[in-house]
Structure 1
Amino acid sequence: MSFDEKCFYCSKNKDLDSLMIKICDLNVSTVYLFKEQTYNGRCNVVYKEHKSEITDLTEDEAAAFINDVRKAAKAIHKALNPDKINYGAFADTMKHLHIHIVPKYKGGPSWGKTFDMNPAKTFLSEEEYEKLIVNIKNNL
């Protein structure tokens, strides 16, 4: 299994913990909830092995990863009923394969535009994070 000790997704260090909360493991990925919740329900689906590009995966691995992304997005749709979900795969500096799942709501932040990567506006209480995580998990 590929691992990079400098990568916070691989090492699961305090930098990762400062940004996200683990929701669960899926087939080939891990789903995290962003602590910053300007976009209610924003998650990240992170490939378990250290791979930089989706092209680094075999056909079967890529299909399994996209299926995990689909499963997480479907759970967010059921749990939170967003008007649309945006997907982002940015990794210029964080070279570990992951896809952002960003629920968008009509009249809400960045509706009709690209979502802000780091808005740093909305944080929840521990109880609110737990409730959101349980709601998403119950729909997986």
Structure 2
Amino acid sequence: MELNKNCMYCMEDENRDNLMIEICQLDVSTVFLFKEQTYTGRCNVVYKDHVKELYQLEEQELAAFMNDVKKVAAAIDKTYQPNKINYGAYGDTMHHMHMHIVPKYEGKENWGSTFEMNPSKTYLSDEEYKTMIEKIKKNIV
């Protein structure tokens, strides 16, 4: 794997750790819980290598990554029963393949609209993060 020294995912740096907490490793990705939890259960699935675009992945790699995304979305659904899960693969400024898994709840924040990247409204205690991570990890199959 080629590391990009400007990438918080490649460098596993403080910027990444200020935003999210590692949940587990899957086949070709790492799963993180966002610290900002306006959307209860929001996670990020980060591809193992520094790849910018989905089309740059070989067919098997793409299938494996999407399977990791599927596992995380299913775990979020089982754990928190959102009304819908939104998926976001942006990366305008962070050129490392990752997928936001954002549970949405009818009548709550941004229902019927695009989720906010970082609304900075809901942060939890260390114990609450730990409990969430344990629940999500238990449901990742």
* TM-score computed with the length of structure 1 as normaliser: 0.99
User: Structure 1, unaligned stretches of length 5 or more?
Assistant: none
The Cα of 1:113 is off from its aligned counterpart by 0.4
Taking the aligned partners of 1:22 and 1:104, their CA distance within structure 2 comes to 21
User: Structure 2, unaligned stretches of length 5 or more?
Assistant: none
Taking the aligned partners of 1:134 and 1:5, their CA distance within structure 2 comes to 31
1:9-55 superposed Cα distances (whole Å, 9 cap, x missing partner): 00000000000000000000000000000000000000010000011
Residue in 1 that maps onto 2:106: 106
Residue in 2 that maps onto 1:92: 92
Residues matched between the structures, number: 140
The Cα of 1:107 is off from its aligned counterpart by 0.6
RMSD over aligned CA atoms reads 0.5
Residue in 1 that maps onto 2:16: 16
The Cα of 1:2 is off from its aligned counterpart by 2.3
* TM-score computed with the length of structure 2 as normaliser: 0.98
The Cα of 1:86 is off from its aligned counterpart by 0.3
Residue in 2 that maps onto 1:73: 73
Identity of aligned residues (%): 59
Tell me, yes or no, if the aligned pair for 1:9 and 1:96 is still in contact at 8 Å.
Answer: yes
The Cα of 1:117 is off from its aligned counterpart by 0.8
Taking the aligned partners of 1:3 and 1:27, their CA distance within structure 2 comes to 19
Q: Which amino acid aligns with 1:106?
A: E
Instruction: After the TM superposition, list the runs of 4 or more consecutive aligned residues in structure 1 that deviate by more than 2 angstroms.
Output: none
Tell me, yes or no, if the aligned pair for 1:83 and 1:104 is still in contact at 8 Å.
Answer: yes
